[in-house]
Structure 1
């Protein structure tokens, strides 16, 4: 039976990083399947890259792209942004409001808390967000209180990794009492084309945000430790963030500045082609796209065992992961990887790529999300509970 197209509004804060990549993939895929799709997000972040992407997408997102100023942390701007989000929902009359991240979760779900008879459904994908704050901290207690409150306004939880579903259960005290399922992030068939390293000028690559949670300081300390042994790999550091100046100064203080080249954010495959091994030394992650993309492209990888990265590596490769904040372990992993024959590390990378191909598929993700929407809508219209799956 042909089901009618849906009107879908995606609500999130910053057009940056893996969350943005996820929303773009889902929104584009939904529009290509005939659904009417719109986006509501921040106007002050994302820069030229976000402007270019939105310019391209504007032709296929029939519900438009609305951007207003939003702050990362709670502030007075939240009232204006929440008012704008509510007004937009009233004008568009969506069937689904899909909230992403903690701030998007507030903007999209708070009005629903006071509208139990609403015709639309709310879906929520945390993407780490509130669940990455240190347990016991004042911020963590505040955000978990908000999550408990807004659980009642959520028709469908869509966890992008089993790790975040587990975090919800651990920190809230139970799995969602409303419908929930895990729909893993997915990537496209084109991203499984292996990269060509024949012109690589760097031994190592870090690609991601330059902030404390990503552990780049640990990587710089590992480079300094290797330098004392006479091992001096060159590294390309691609990204931006609040700690950029501090990290650049740290490379000078640790005596490794001449080995490090910092570059602004750009296409990942261009960075992979310039480098032989990717290193992700994160302290916290959800299910990072940067690992998925690199693994799919058969890039040799060194990564910490945090968040959902173990789900990407799978049982065949999980033993290769290292603990976070462990400078000797990271230095040892880099030393061992660079000492291996090129063909050995490429064979290992190709095997990991096949693991990712079997589990993290773009079409499966898009179809799974839409199926969850339809179950939630049917449940709201009939008054029964939507089906929950692992």
Structure 2
């Protein structure tokens, strides 16, 4: 059998924060170890020291390098400069695969990939929404603008990749049935993360870890914590770990609730380090796609309490007793109280570990993604056989 040549793969996304960044890092590392050449193009204006350390970890796996440039969240004239610079950078790297993540990353990958094709340069163009623009209401002003744009860009893609069935069904509902190939490939966790993390003796009762913005529900966490204390009839303890634009608002909310001594706040840190500091993980999001924090916590055998949003029921199970109604403080508090009042709660409610691993391992995700890349590239000429027009 003829040996398949290594692929040259570039991932494009905007913000190097949160689940998209984690997803790309996992794919890049797995595919680099399999002998492929990988690069990243993303925004330079977001992220801090924590993200810088994550880039340092992944950099040895990026044979095609790391390109960071300003890519703003909102649509504006600056996008033209980003597209032109991105085009020049990507053209020089001669990729076989351009994979865009999130609305801005998807637009960059598809537009630049299509421009390369106009110049007789073949490249596979993929788009993974990762929630992103799909969170908008279809009837809102921004929804009426965004979803037709999503529809129009379909013809610039060779495939759409959804990370959960919820995301796929949301796309069908808000954008329409895709007119191009589409696949469901679940997010996955590295095999090394399927190890039990035992909480420290001084671990707190509950942990919130994630972005400090209302979409992720930190305010719901604070209010539910206060109600949980009333339900169990004793003081409890909690940690909120992360950075974000509304951090001061949540500090003020804790002061108003008289909780500033029982809920502490820390800047972003490595997830597995954070897991040692708490006994239960709470994910109170108002909207999600397929959040890595749920996968990471379950892989570490941490009990998870989460909102019934996005793909979370696909992880915990649609009838799981760990699922709270979205944006419902009382529902969340009731489950939080049960998690610390009932000794066998986690054993009864959490997914069976071996079944969970067989479905959500990074090895499964990266292999399925590589098969898709290969299939899309199969009928294209080798990269070095065609020179892009300068």
Distance in structure 2 (CA, Å) of the matches to 1:55 and 1:358: 30
3-state SS in 2 of match to 1:371: helix
Distance in structure 2 (CA, Å) of the matches to 1:87 and 1:157: 24
What's the CA shift for 1:125?
1.0
Give the superposed CA RMSD.
1.8
Describe the shift of the 1:273–1:165 C-alpha distance in structure 2 as closer, same or farther (beyond 3 A): same
8 A Cα contact 1:37 1:63, kept in partner: yes
1:211 corresponds to 2:213: yes
What's the CA shift for 1:379?
5.2
What's the CA shift for 1:366?
0.7
Describe the shift of the 1:349–1:194 C-alpha distance in structure 2 as closer, same or farther (beyond 3 A): farther
Matches within 5 A, 1:1-390: 1=1, 2-113=3-114, 115=117, 118-174=121-177, 176-229=178-231, 230-314=233-317, 318-341=320-343, 344-348=344-348, 351-378=351-378
Describe the shift of the 1:29–1:235 C-alpha distance in structure 2 as closer, same or farther (beyond 3 A): same
Bigger shift: 184-193 or 317-326? 317-326
Distance in structure 2 (CA, Å) of the matches to 1:49 and 1:251: 25
How high is the TM-score relative to the length of structure 1? 0.92
Q: Which runs of 5+ in 2 are unaligned?
A: 382-390
Distance in structure 2 (CA, Å) of the matches to 1:358 and 1:56: 26
8 A Cα contact 1:284 1:306, kept in partner: yes
Instruction: Kindly provide the CA deviation profile for residues 58-91 of structure 1, in whole angstroms up to 9, marking residues without a partner as x.
Output: 3331111011011111133212111111111211
Instruction: Kindly provide the CA deviation profile for residues 158-192 of structure 1, in whole angstroms up to 9, marking residues without a partner as x.
Output: 11111111111111121x21111111111112211
Residue equivalent to 1:385: none
What's the CA shift for 1:6?
0.6
Q: Which runs of 5+ in 1 are unaligned?
A: 382-390
What's the CA shift for 1:234?
0.7
Instruction: Kindly provide the CA deviation profile for residues 31-74 of structure 1, in whole angstroms up to 9, marking residues without a partner as x.
Output: 11111111111111121222222233333311110110111111
